[in-house]
């Protein structure tokens, strides 16, 4: 069990790469401290838009299509997998109550479907097109702000 990854799985990394390639910026494995002392760690978190993305493995999260029941040690595995699903539902409820939009993607879903689901959630969370905003020259996110003031004593000098 020590070799099982909590973060950085192949489906998660593929989704992160695809979103990053399209210009989206996010936090990975970011701990969110919610009300009532609840803590949630989404695989991908868009903190500004309050969108949490989880990439769930079919076995560990009991996928209805591919999540097989273990034949050995059922006394251990059945309650464990049930607790995983219950923890997922509790995390979804806590995030929704805190005003977050939750996207759950199964590892067997195609990358295009997963990216589409995330972009749709981002579009719902912020008015507009859901596309990343880019600064014209540098490609960085544009932040509106005040005009820089001229330094005192340098008025009229180039």
Q: Where are the domains of the chain?
A: 10-125
List, for residues 31-52, the tens digit of each pLDDT value. 999 988 899 999 999 999 999 9
List, for residues 91-106, the tens digit of each pLDDT value. 999 999 999 999 999 9
Lowest-confidence segment of 42-56, 109-123, 138-152 by average pLDDT: 138-152
Lowest-confidence segment of 49-58, 86-95, 136-145 by average pLDDT: 136-145
pLDDT at 126 over 80: no
What global pTM score does this model have?
0.76
User: Could you tell me where the DSSP H helices lie in 67-110?
Assistant: 74-97
What is the three-class DSSP state of 58? Answer: coil
Among 145, 142, 125, 123, smallest CA distance to 133 is for 142
CATH topology of domain 10-125: Endonuclease; Chain A (3.40.960)
Residue 122 backbone phi and psi in degrees, to 5: -65, -40
């Amino acid at each position: 069990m020590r070799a099982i990854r909590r973060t950085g799985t192949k489906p998660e990394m593929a989704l992160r790469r695809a979103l990053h390639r399209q210009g989206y910026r996010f936090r990975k494995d970011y701990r969110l401290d919610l009300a009532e002392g609840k803590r949630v760690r989404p695989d991908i978190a868009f903190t500004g838009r309050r969108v949490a993305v989880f990439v769930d493995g079919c076995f560990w999260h009991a996928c209805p299509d591919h999540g097989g029941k273990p034949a050995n040690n059922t006394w251990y595995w059945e309650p464990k997998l049930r607790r995983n699903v219950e923890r997922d539902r509790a995390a979804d409820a806590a995030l929704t109550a805190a005003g977050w939009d939750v996207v759950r993607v199964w590892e067997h879903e195609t990358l295009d479907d997963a990216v589409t689901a995330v972009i749709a959630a981002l579009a719902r969370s912020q008015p507009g097109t859901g596309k990343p905003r880019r600064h014209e020259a540098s490609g960085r996110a544009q932040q509106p702000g005040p005009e820089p003031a001229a330094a005192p004593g340098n008025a009229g000098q180039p």
